Structure 1
Amino acid sequence: MLCAGEWVTITDTKGHRKSIKLVAGKVHHTTKGGLAHDDIIGQPEGIVVTTVGGLQFLVFRPLLNEYMVTMPRQAAVIYPKDAAQIIMRADIFPGARVLEAGVGSGALSLAMLRTIGPSGLLHSVERRAEFAEVARRNVEQFCGGTHPGWELSIGDLAEITLEDQYDRAVLDMLAPWDCLEKVSQALVAGGLLCCYVATTTQMGRVMDSMRAMGCFTEPMALEVSVRDWHAEGLAIRPGHATSAHTGFLVITRRMAPGVDAPMRKRRPAPGAYGPDYTGPVPRNVAAEHMEANRRRAREMG
C-alpha cells in the first residue's frame, strides 16, 4: 500500500508525468482542480484518481528511468539511454568498486548504486558543492535515505587523494584527459574506464590521450539513439519524443602494470595528425612522423 512520505508518479491522460510526495491532508493542485493525497494514501499502486474537475491520473511508484528525467537538477543529467549503455559497456556489477567524477544532479549515480547494491562502493567526486548537494538530495529521496555504498567527495579529481583501488571508473567532465594518469593508477589491472563527453573534439582528444599513454587498450567510441514509435490503428509512425545525440561514450581497459598495449597496425587517415593538430600523438604515429622527418631531411641533403 502507498504510505504518507512516499513519492509517487502521477500521469494524466496525455502522458504528462509529475512526481509528488504524499502528505496526509495535502492537495496537489492542477489546471482542473485539486487532487487529494488522502485519495492515494492507503491504496495500492495502479489506481486511477480524479481531480474535482474530472481530470484522471494514473498513480504508481516512480521507476528509476522516470525519476532520472524528472528529478530536480542544477546540472544536465546523463539520460537513461546513456546510463544503460554505461552500466553494460563498462560492465558494472553487484559489489563493484566504482570511481565516478562529475556527479551533476546524481542521475548516473543512482543507476550505478542500484547496480552495485549495498555490498559495492561508489566513490563520486564533484567539483561544485551546489551540484553535490542536489545530487545527495536526489539520491536520498529515491533511495529513502542514505545508500550504504555511496561516498560523495567535493573537490577536483586531479587533486584529491584516492585511498582505494577501483574496478571501474566513469568520468563525466570537460577535460577527462587531464585525469587519465590518476585514474590509471587507481584502476585495477583489467579495470574499465568510461568517459562521457559531449563533442567530437573532446572524444578525439581523450581517445588520442589514451593511445599515447600506452597503459590502456585501443579505445572504443559510440553514441546512443533511441527512437520512440506511435502505433494506433493505421497511424504507425516514429514518435515525436525521439532522443538522438546527447553525448559520446569512450571505453577502454587498463593493462597490467608495466605492460603497454600493442600499437595499432592500422594507419591513421592522411592528415589526421597534420601541422594543425595540437593534441597528444599516439606512439606508433609519433614513430611514423619521426621516420618521415628523417626521410625529408635526407632528401633535402
Structure 2
Amino acid sequence: MGAARGDAVRHALPDDPGRARLRHARSVRRDPDVELLRVDRARAGLPAAQLRDRLGPDRRLRDRRRRPRRDGARLGGGPVRIARGALDQRRDAAGGVRGGPLSAGAARPRHPVNDGLPFQDGEQVLLIDQRGKRHLIFLRKSETFHSDRGWVPHDAVIGQPEGSWVRSSMGLRYVALRPTLAEYVLEMPRGAQVIYPKDLAMILFWADIYPGCRVLEAGTGSGALTLALLRTVGPEGRVITYEQRDEFARRALANIHMRLGEVANLMVRLRPVEDGLPEEEPVDRVLLDLPEPWKLTSLVAAALRPGGIFLCYVPTIVQSHQIAEALQREPHWALVETFETLYRPWNIEGQSVRPFHRMVAHTGFITVARRVVPEEGGSGARLRRQEFEG
C-alpha cells in the first residue's frame, strides 16, 4: 500500500528536467545502436565548486561539515553531471550507428598550456608543497584551498605567473604549476584503472603514433590513453574508441573535457568491439586494452591497413602468451614482440647517490605486431624482431 502511494505521488509530481536527462543518460546503455559523439560545449564534467554553487548555501554548509577536506575546487570533488546534448544518439534508417567525425570544432585546450600567461580563473593548477605532496585544483575567485597545513586563497594564485610560490596560513610553501599530461592522468578521477605514464610513453613510441594518424582504440576506461592519443594525433588525426560500459565512457569524456576542452576528432562507440567493425574505414593503428585481445586478431586485421601497427596492453604474462600465439598463427601479422617497462627513480643529494627504495615496476605487458600482406604459401608471423642489443 505504501509503495502504491509512493508511486502515485511520484507520478503526480511534475517531471524534473534534470532527472529526465539523467534517466536518458542511464538508458543509453540499453540501446546497442547508440554512440557517444562529443563532449558537450558547456560542460560534461563540472568542478565540484561549480556543482555546489548550484545547490545553494545550506547545502554548501552541510558539505563542509561532512567533508574532512574542504577543497571545493579539487579535481574529482563532485559527481559528473551530464549536460543536455552531452550524449547524442544517431541512427541510420536501418537502425545501425552512423559513423563520421564530430563537427564541434577543432580540438583545443580549455586553457593554453605553457603560453606564458598568468594563472586565470577557472584554470587547473598543481600545488606542490615542500614535502612533495601534490594537489590538483581548479582556480575559482573567492574560493579557498584547504589542507592539513592550513589554507591558501585561490586569489593568491590567480594572476601570478606559472612557477610562483605561495604560502598557506600555517606558513607551508607551495609552488604553483600547470599540470603536465602525466600529472593529470595520475590525479584525474577514475572509473576504471588507468594506464600509467611510463606505459603511455612506450605505447605512443612503439605504436608510432604521429600527427594525422587514424587510431582505433578498444577499452576506453577512464580515458588516459585516449587523452594521450588525441594530443599526439592532433586536429588532423582521428581517434575512434570503443567502450561497452556507459559509466566508463561518461567518466572518460568528462576527463577529456576537463583537460582538452571540446574535441572534434574523437568518436566514442558505446558497444563491444567484439560486435564487429562494419562501418570503420581502414586505420593506421589499432590499440587494445581488453582482457581477451587474442579473440580479435582476425577482426582488427581487416580494419588495419597493411604496414599498420597493432598493440595491446594486458596485465599478466598468461594473457601476453595467448595474444602472442594468436598473432604468430595468422599470416597477416609479423614482427611480434612483447615487453614491459620498469621505472626506477634515483635520489641524488650531495654525496648521496642511490636508487629510491621503491620503484614503479610491473604494471602491464605490451605486445606489438605489424600488419603485413599474407605471403602465398608462407607465414609472415615467423618473421620476428631481432633481440634488442643496447
TM-score range, shorter chain: 0.7 to 0.9
Residues 2 and 152 of structure 1: is their aligned pair in 2 closer, same or farther, counting only changes over 3 Å? Answer: same
The 5 Å alignment of 1:147-296 reads 147-161=263-277, 162-256=279-373, 261-262=379-380, 264=382
1:264 deviation in Å?
3.1
CA offset at residue 146 of structure 1? 2.0
Quote the offset at 1:218 in angstroms.
3.5
Aligned match for 1:101, one of 213, 218, 223: 218
* 1:126 and 1:154 in contact (8 A); partners too: yes
After superposition, give the CA deviation of every residue in 1:65-114 in whole Å (9 maximum; x if it has no partner). Answer: 11111111121111111111111111110000000001111111111111
CA contact (8 A) 2:122 2:139 kept: yes
**2:240 corresponds to 1:123:** yes
Q: Deviations over 1:259-299 (max 9, x none)?
A: 65446399xxxxxxxxxxxxxxxxxxxxxxxxxxxxxxxxx
Q: Does residue 1:3 correspond to 2:120, yes or no? A: yes
Letter in 1 for 2:273: L
Q: Percent identity?
A: 40
TM-aligned CA distance change 1:176 to 1:11, over 3 Å: same
Residues 112 and 133 of structure 1: CA distance in aligned 2, closer, same or farther (over 3 Å): same
Contact 1:255 1:261 in 2 (8 A): no
Corresponding residue for residue 171 of structure 2:
54
Q: Which runs of 5+ in 1 are unaligned?
A: 267-301
Whether 1:146 aligns to 2:256 is no
- 1:176-229 CA-to-partner distances (Å, cap 9, x unmatched) read 011111100000010100010111110000010011121100410110011100
| TM-score between the two structures when normalised by the length of structure 1 | 0.85
Once the 2 structures are TM-superposed, how far is the Cα of residue 139 of structure 1 from its aligned partner? Answer: 0.9
- Matching residue's letter, 1:74: G
Distance, in Å, in 1 between the alignment partners of 2:182 and 2:383 is 41
Aligned pair 1:69/2:186, yes or no? yes
Task: Pick closer, same or farther for the CA change 1:142–1:264 going to 2, 3 Å.
Answer: same
- Alpha-carbon separation, structure 2, partners of 1:43 and 1:263: 57
Q: How does 1:15-94 map to 2 (within 5 A)?
A: 15-94=132-211
Query: Post-superposition, which runs of at least 4 consecutive aligned residues in structure 1 deviate over 6 A?
Result: none
Q: Please say if residues 141 and 155 of structure 2, whose CA atoms lie closer than 8 Å, have aligned partners that are also in contact.
A: yes
Structure with greater proportional strand content: 1
Note if contact 2:329-2:381 (Cα within 8 Å) is conserved in structure 1. no
Deviation for aligned residue 1:170: 0.4
CA-CA distance at 1:241 after TM superposition: 4.4
Residue aligned with 1:219, SS: strand
**What secondary structure does 2:308 align onto?**
strand
Using a 3 Å threshold, how does the CA distance of structure 1 residues 104 and 240 change in structure 2: closer, same or farther?
farther
Please give the root-mean-square deviation of Cα atoms over the aligned residues, in Å: 1.6
The Cα of 1:155 is off from its aligned counterpart by 1.0
The answer for the alignment partner of 1:289 in structure 2 is none
Total equivalences in the alignment: 265
- Distance in 2 of aligned mates of 1:25 and 1:160: 51
The one-letter amino acid paired with 1:163 is E
- Matched residues in 2 for 1:237 and 1:125: separation? 43
Q: Which runs of 5+ in 2 are unaligned?
A: 1-117, 385-390
Of residues 200-209 and 145-154 in structure 1, the stretch that sits farther from structure 2 once superposed is: 145-154
